[in-house]
């Protein structure tokens, strides 16, 4: 079995050449340091006081008029995110399009929170294709919901002034699910900042939560997932056992003829991934997908001097079944991607708010690059005006 991003895992799986991040409870840090020393494993303490960082990231949620950062450069509680989306839903991209932002309820979470999708649509040209972006499937990856907000805000602000986003929105609708795992996200704000899974409970175990990115029907619960409910990568009782998974899967199934591009946003480690993760086999259009993420990574490097790895999931990060991108790909969405945003482990999931704008702009550049490439390849013949 291989580790999920950034989780505490037994040391036996460490490779000699690989760096690894451990989260250690403060009261056992000396013991762990001792152990590492005795086994001649070199280590450094990256974050001596994560609680201070966590406090900093949650404190600035309120709209402090003295703060120099914008709403989009801070992290927000679930309630604030919801509220913001209600406001955004009343906005329009231009005067000719009163109904450019629509809120669609696609289901509810285990704890009965609504799952809202935002639809951006600037014209109602028939047979328009669409792009899907989901954020926040893993609760502790806070930069992910921040990106979804960033994307919506960018689209509403720069439609008709930035030529790339204009071209994209003129040619496709965008469906955005800002927080796929609202129960988990809420829990990271109130109780445990490092929570990953959803919050579903089950009579047969005391452990809470299913890893929603192991719960999709793609080689479900094979190597790289766990059938133990206490595991961080627990696959659930059966594929789509979770209401969050089911809501997304149902929505995409009923829109599969129009959705051409699928993005799922995670953190951390800076990678642009595509199927498969659930097998070492190559996807049918592997070279096409590789070309796209390579171009996106090169652009990020040129514009932001930051390195993103790219490739198929199984080859680039680890073999893992049951993920949403593989499932969407098998459904027929041939341009399917998972992005792992900043950073590479300095702060990990605790990326400081001051890094939000750069992290989001990098991801935005990658989304735009790929969307434009797909659009150029799949241009539906339009009737001349
Ligand atoms: C995992 C899977 Cl199963 C997939 N299909 N694509 C990406 C990943 C990586 C993320 C995960 O769920 O472990 C990184 Se947080
Ligand atoms: Zn993740
Ligand atoms: Zn085009």
Task: Give the DSSP H/E element, type plus range, for residue 160.
Answer: none
pLDDT at 363: 98
Give the 3-state secondary structure of residue 326. helix
Q: Which ligand approaches the C-alpha of residue 338 most closely?
A: 1
Cβ 314 under 6 angstroms from ligand 1: no
Nearest CA to 104 out of 265, 251, 216 is that of 251
Each residue's pLDDT tens digit, 166-189:
999 999 999 999 999 999 999 999
Give the ligand with the smallest distance to the CA of 371. 3
Q: Atom 12 (ligand 1): residue with closest C-alpha?
A: 213
Provide the pLDDT for residue 6. Answer: 38
Looking at the CA of residue 317, tell me the nearest atom of ligand 1: 9
Strands lying side by side in the sheet with 309-312: 101-108, 114-120, 172-177, 129-135, 259-267, 335-341, 271-274, 309-312
Ligand 1 mean position to 95 CA, how many Å?
Answer: 41
CA 267 – CA 5 distance, rounded (Å): 8
H or E stretch at 33: helix 29-38
**Predicted local distance difference test score (pLDDT) of residue 97:** 64
Tokens 């399009």, residue?
97
DSSP code of 139? T
Encoding tokens for residue 194? 């490092």
Would you call 218 exposed, middle or buried from its count of C-beta atoms within 10 A (0-12, 13-18, 19+)? buried
Q: Tell me whether residue 340 is one of the annotated catalytic residues.
A: yes
| pLDDT by residue, tens only, the chain of 385 residues | 344 433 333 333 455 677 888 888 878 888 998 999 898 888 888 888 888 888 888 875 555 656 678 889 999 999 998 888 888 877 766 666 666 899 999 999 999 999 999 999 988 888 899 999 999 999 999 999 999 999 999 999 999 999 999 999 999 999 999 999 999 999 999 999 999 999 999 999 999 999 999 999 999 999 999 999 999 999 999 999 999 999 999 999 999 999 999 999 999 999 999 999 999 999 999 999 999 999 999 999 999 999 999 999 999 999 999 999 999 999 999 999 999 999 999 999 999 999 999 999 999 999 999 999 999 998 755 555 5
Q: Between the CA of residue 88 and those of 150, 158, 348, 367, what are the distances in Å?
A: 12, 14, 29, 21
pLDDT for the residue 8: 38
SS3 at position 91: coil
Is residue 213 within 6 Å of ligand 1 at its C-beta? yes
Catalytic one of 141, 242, 244, 340: 340
Assess contact for 57 and 352: CB atoms under 8 A: yes
CA dist., res. 237 & res. 225, Å (int): 12
**Nearest CA to 143 among 192, 88, 56, 73?**
73
Angle, helices 182-190 vs 78-88, to 10°: value is 130
**Cα dist from 149 to 76, 142, 178, 204, 290, whole Å:** 10, 12, 7, 38, 27
CA dist., res. 92 & res. 97, Å (int): 6
Q: Which of 360, 311, 315 minimizes the C-alpha distance to 337?
A: 311
Helices and strands in the chain, H and E counts: 11, 8
Task: Say what the pTM is.
Answer: 0.91
Q: Is any ligand 1 atom within 6 A of the Cβ of residue 232?
A: no
- Alpha carbon distances (Å) from 376 to 262, 287, 289: 16, 17, 14
Q: How far apart are CA 327 and CA 220, in angstroms?
A: 10
């Amino acid at each position: 079995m291989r580790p999920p991003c950034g989780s505490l895992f037994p040391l036996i799986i460490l490779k000699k050449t690989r760096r690894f991040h451990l989260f250690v409870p403060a009261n056992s840090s000396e013991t762990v340091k001792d152990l590492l020393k005795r086994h001649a494993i070199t280590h450094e303490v990256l974050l001596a006081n994560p609680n201070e960082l966590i406090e900093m990231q949650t404190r600035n949620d309120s709209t402090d008029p003295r703060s120099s950062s914008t709403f989009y450069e801070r992290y927000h509680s679930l309630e604030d995110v919801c509220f913001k989306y209600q406001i955004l839903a009343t906005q329009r991209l231009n005067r000719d399009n009163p109904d450019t932002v629509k809120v669609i309820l696609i289901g509810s979470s285990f704890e009965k929170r609504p799952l809202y999708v935002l639809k951006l649509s600037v014209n109602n040209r028939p047979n328009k294709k669409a792009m899907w972006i989901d954020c926040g499937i893993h609760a502790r990856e806070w930069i992910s919901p921040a990106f979804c907000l960033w994307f919506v805000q960018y689209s509403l602000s720069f439609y008709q002034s930035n030529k790339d986003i204009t071209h994209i929105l003129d040619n496709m609708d965008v469906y955005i699910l800002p927080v796929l795992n609202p129960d988990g996200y809420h829990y990271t704000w109130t109780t445990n900042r490092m929570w990953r899974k959803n919050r579903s409970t089950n009579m047969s175990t005391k452990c809470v939560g299913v890893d929603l990115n192991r719960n999709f029907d793609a080689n479900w619960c094979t190597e790289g997932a766990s059938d133990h409910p206490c595991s961080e990568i627990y696959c659930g009782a059966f594929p789509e056992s979770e209401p969050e998974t089911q809501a997304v899967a149902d929505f995409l199934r009923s829109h599969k003829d129009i959705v051409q591009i699928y993005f799922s946003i995670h953190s951390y480690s800076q990678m642009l991934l595509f199927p498969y993760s659930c097998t070492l086999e190559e996807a049918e259009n592997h070279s096409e997908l590789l070309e796209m993420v390579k171009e996106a990574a090169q652009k990020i490097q040129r514009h932001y001097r930051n390195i993103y790895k790219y490739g198929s999931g199984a080859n680039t990060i680890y073999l893992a079944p049951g993920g949403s991108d593989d499932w969407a790909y098998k459904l027929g969405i041939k341009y399917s991607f998972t992005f792992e945003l900043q950073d590479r482990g300095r702060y990990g999931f605790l990326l400081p708010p001051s890094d939000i704008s750069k992290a989001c702009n990098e991801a935005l550049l990658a989304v735009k690059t790929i969307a434009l490439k797909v659009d150029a390849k799949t241009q539906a013949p339009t009737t001349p005006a």
